[in-house]
């Protein structure tokens, strides 16, 4: 049985990945994972590929173990894994609770690595991994410090994993978009001081374009999928400009 696994599938980029993967990949089933079961059920009306609904909270270890047990039971041919679960909370260290900080680390980092780790034994030559990171991970960003740090971790993990998998013919790509038109901003600003970042929504990209770009970049073997000219410019700046200069510029921009 050929399957795909997509986390964070109830909304935003994850939902769009379900739609486009179903159109571009020949799969017997897509396993969709998110907390909101009713949102996952709605996906059945949007695609033709059969879905297996897994309403799970991936910050809980028992959820990871449930997916692992299902993989062991079904022993599928896993052709594509998309780790799109994740969230941000805006604010400095003064504004964020331990629950918010730990939630970002657990979902953005630990859950992505755990899902990848338990999936790899079922992936063969030509399989694909897309870890949804962010351009925020290219450099430290005050005001979204913890979120940016979690994405920097995931970028580093994915780039190293790509090299580890070369002999198996599995392609791993760190997908690093800028702002995207999803529920991300509303969730991010729902904190004690969510106005630490209050701009750029007008520049946000369409999820359809981001996902199409990510799938293409992964298909041609790119380690980083940076969406559009601005994303590529941002990546280049992060490589060649000292971080203290980028941080100073960000400190001005985030207040606009």
- Residue 238 is predicted with a pLDDT of 78
Strands 51-55, 224-225: pairing kind:
unpaired
Rounded distance, CA 19 to CA 22, Å? 5
Rounded distance, CA 14 to CA 24, Å? 15
Residue by residue, DSSP assigns 44-92 as GGT-SS-EEEEE--TTSHHHHHHHHHHHHHH--EEEEEEE---------
- Residue 240 is predicted with a pLDDT of 81
Q: What is the pLDDT along the chain (256 residues), one digit of tens a residue?
A: 999 999 999 999 999 999 999 999 999 999 999 999 999 999 999 999 999 999 999 999 999 999 999 999 999 999 999 999 999 888 899 999 999 999 999 999 999 999 999 999 999 999 999 999 999 999 999 989 999 999 999 999 999 999 999 999 999 999 999 877 666 666 556 666 666 776 555 567 788 999 999 999 999 999 999 886 777 778 777 788 888 888 877 777 776 6
- Please choose, from the candidates 42, 36, 46, 49, the residue with its C-alpha nearest in 3D space to the C-alpha of residue 7: 36
Measure Cα distances from 71 to 5, 56, 78, 120 in Å: 11, 15, 9, 11
Other CB atoms within 10 Å distance of the CB of residue 150: 27
53: containing domain = 2-253
- Residue 199 is predicted with a pLDDT of 59
Other CB atoms within 10 Å distance of the CB of residue 256: 8
- Listed in sequence order, the DSSP H helices in 75-206 are 98-105, 112-119, 145-164, 184-189
Can you tell me whether residue 42 is helix, strand or coil? helix
CATH number, position 177: 3.40.50.720
Spatial CB neighbours of 119, under 8 Å, sequence gap ≥ 6: 5, 71, 78, 81, 129
What angle is formed at CA 151 by the lines to CA 149 and CA 155, rounded to 5 degrees?
A: 120
Number of domains in the chain: 1
- Residue 109 is predicted with a pLDDT of 98
Tell me the sheet residues that pair with 175: 132, 225
Instruction: Confirm if 7 and 58 have CB atoms less than 8 A apart.
Output: yes
Rounded distance, CA 40 to CA 170, Å? 28
Rounded distance, CA 214 to CA 53, Å? 24
């Amino acid at each position: 049985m050929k399957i795909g696994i997509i986390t964070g599938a109830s909304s935003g980029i994850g939902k769009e990945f379900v739609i486009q993967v179903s159109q571009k990949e020949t799969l017997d089933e897509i396993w969709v994972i998110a907390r909101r079961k009713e949102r996952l059920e709605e996906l059945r009306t949007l695609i033709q590929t059969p879905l297996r609904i897994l309403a799970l909270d991936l910050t809980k270890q028992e959820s990871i173990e449930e997916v692992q047990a299902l993989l062991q039971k079904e022993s599928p041919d896993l052709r594509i894994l998309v780790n799109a679960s994740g969230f941000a909370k805006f604010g400095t260290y003064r504004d964020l609770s331990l629950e918010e900080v730990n939630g970002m680390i657990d979902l953005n980092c630990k859950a992505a690595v755990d899902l990848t780790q338990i999936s790899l034994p079922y992936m063969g030559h030509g399989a694909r991994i897309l870890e949804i990171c962010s351009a925020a991970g290219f450099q430290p960003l005050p005001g979204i410090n913890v979120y940016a740090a979690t994405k920097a971790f995931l970028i580093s993990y994915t780039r190293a994993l790509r090299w580890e998998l070369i002999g198996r013919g599995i392609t791993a790509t760190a997908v690093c978009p800028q702002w995207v038109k999803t529920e991300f901003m509303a969730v991010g600003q729902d904190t004690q001081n969510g106005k630490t970042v209050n701009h750029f929504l007008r520049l946000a990209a369409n999820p359809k374009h981001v996902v199409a770009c990510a799938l293409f970049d992964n298909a041609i073997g790119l380690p980083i999928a940076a969406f559009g000219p601005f994303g590529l410019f941002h990546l280049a700046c992060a490589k060649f400009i000292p971080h203290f200069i980028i941080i100073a510029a960000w400190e001005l921009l985030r207040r606009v």
